[in-house]
Amino acid sequence: MPRKQKSIVEQLAAKAIRLGVEELEVEYKDGYEEVFTLKGALGVGIASLRSSTPRAASLRHELYGITKRKRRLTIGDSKYELRARIFESFGEDTFRVQRRRL
């Protein structure tokens, strides 16, 4: 049976969880969707997607969906809930995704 492909947000959230952080931020900069993990005042870049690609469009679509409805996911034996909010940065939508363990 074919395995279901993980969503882009789930892949990024899994990476953030492995790094021990609770927040992701996705912002547009110079033609790319830049993804950062946040812990306190420290941010570390973990991904960069060219904004014109289908993968970046899919990421933005998923993020807009999470702002309207929380998403639950399972990573390993742990369950998490993702919540996102949008704020504006230099005229572009920027997403802040928070996760909490259930």
CA distance 54 to 91: 22
Q: What integer pLDDT is reported at residue 41 of this predicted model? A: 79
Which carries the bigger pLDDT value, residue 5 or residue 78? 78
Q: In whole angstroms, how large is the CA radius of gyration of the chain?
A: 13
- Domains with residue ranges and CATH for the chain: 8-101 (3.30.450.90)
State the pLDDT confidence band at 86, using cuts at 50, 70 and 90: very high
pLDDT tens, 48-77? 999 999 999 999 999 999 999 999 988 888
Report how far residue 89's alpha carbon sits from residue 101's, in angstroms, rounded to the nearest whole number.
Answer: 28
Contact yes or no for 37/43 (Cβ under 8 A)? yes
